[in-house]
Amino acid sequence: MSSARVLAVEALLQVEFDGAYANILTNEILSQNDLSSADAGMFTDLVNGTLRWERYLDTIINYCSSREIVDLSDEVRSVLRLSTYSYLIRGTQAHAIVNEGVETIRNLDGERATSFVNAVLRRITERTAEEWRIYADQRVEDADQEAIMYSLPNWIVKVFQSQIPDQLERIALFEKQNQPPSITYLRRPGTETDTTGLAPGNWSPYALREIDKKLSRQKLKTGELTVQDEGSQLTSWALSMALIEGPDLNWLDMTAGPGGKAVFLAAIAQMRGAKLVANEIHPHRAELVRNVLRRSELNAEILIGDANFGAWAPKSFDRVLLDAPCTGLGALRRRAESRWRRTEKDLADLVIGQRKLLRSAIAATRSGGIVGYVTCSLHPRETTEIVLEAAKTHKIEFVDVPRLLPGIPLAPGPFLQLWPHRHDTDGMFMAILRVE
């Protein structure tokens, strides 16, 4: 039995009951345990994949268990989920699944649950993964079909159904959101980087995709590269490319943590002789911004405080980036547990905060300056509705973002909306508002 499996189950328990974030937790566990490269990769996939597919896995387990999964012990539930994921999604051999599942629960909880785990896993492995898809698809209620088969909460599926009426395209999105994202790096603007072990990105001129993990990680340590999704790069790139009249010396990143977009903006600002102010409300995230800028040999003024009450005079900035806190519906593939934590109530609360922050961003921007409003969301309430509402109450005009990013297939209109299944990026939204 691989120790990676035991560590993965322990990680799942921490995510479910301690509120841990899977991406942070997996890195911490890997730094504390000497796993081979293969085991480290398996461990990470077991944790994130099990979390992504949780609802579908629970459905299959319930078909094969004499007790509902909610009534099982925490350890048994996590072992069954992980084992079922290994079999149905990773394609691990049936005999290995049963043996490893039994050994894992024995390691975690002694002998008392081994017979039960053995019986459930044997029933699951009586059918192939494809047979289970057919079996489950024929039995779930129509209203729950897409949510169960692609492992999402019903409310999120309803959002995507309203956005993408075509079912085949919607399924392509669901499938993409259940796959781990490829690793993309930002090459710091203004520098030359040896691209051995790397490939160009699809859209951003500064994006590089990982081919050789060892070579790319060396460049990451030296600050030549920072990990950043190509969608995030495009929002910073568009903000820096938009033309403005008059002075262009003072830039603001209103919600800068953990610092990815601040690196991009600081590098461009430095090339143009401008100054970046990076604001972050949370001190620990402000420290992350400071560290990533230092590692990249870039300068910015770091402020800690609520951006709604910024330590700056009104109309102080020529360019403002507002990367507003959001539901993260555009990054479900990246944050494996987030689909189970976000609720419609969260959406309502976040929209209120987004409105306030956008008002503050407009107030901080001089006449003729621009505000880039960004969210990693596919929900219109967090994207187009926010900026169209602002246009009714503020003297602003929209900059045509797609014209700043030629060659990228985008929907008509002045906004940027990226889709994981169309662009192989996170689902980033951007509007650029010129303040009159």
The predicted pLDDT at position 195 comes to 84
pLDDT tens digits, residue range 261-286? 999 999 999 999 999 999 999 999 99
Strands (E) across 296-341 are located at 301-304, 317-323
> For residue 195, which of 222, 225, 223, 221 has the smallest C-alpha distance?
225
Q: Given a cut of 90, is residue 193 above it in pLDDT? A: no
Pairing of strands 275-280, 301-304: parallel
Q: Write down the domain spans for the chain.
A: 3-139, 230-435
* 230-435 and 3-139 share a CATH fold: no
pTM of the model: 0.94
Tokens of 45: 């996939």
CA distance 36 to 30: 10
Report the pLDDT value the prediction gives residue 164, as an integer from 0 to 100: 97
Query: What mean pLDDT do residues 1-29 have?
Result: 92
Note the pLDDT of residue 213. Answer: 73
Pure H helices in 190-282: 213-222, 230-241, 260-272
Nearest to 374 by CA among 256, 226, 274, 249: 256
pLDDT of residue 429: 99
**Under CATH, which number does the domain 3-139 receive?**
1.10.940.10
pLDDT higher at 420 or 217:
420
Q: Which fold has domain 230-435?
A: Rossmann fold (3.40.50)
pLDDT in tens, 128-149: 999 999 999 999 998 899 999 9
pLDDT at position 222 is 74
Q: How many helices (H) and strands (E) does the chain have?
A: 20, 12
Sign of torsion over alpha carbons 378, 379, 380, 383 = negative
Residues catalogued as catalytic: 376
CB 43 within 8 A of CB 34: no
Environment class of 408 (CB within 10 Å of its CB; exposed 0-12, middle 13-18, buried 19+): middle
Q: Does residue 10 have a pLDDT over 80?
A: yes
SS3 label, residue 374: strand
What is the rounded distance in angstroms from the CA atom of residue 310 to the CA atom of residue 323?
15
Query: What is the per-residue pLDDT for 2?
Result: 64
121: pLDDT strictly greater than 60: yes
In this prediction, residue 88 has a pLDDT band, given cuts at 50, 70 and 90, of: very high
Query: pLDDT category, 215, cuts 50, 70, 90?
Result: low
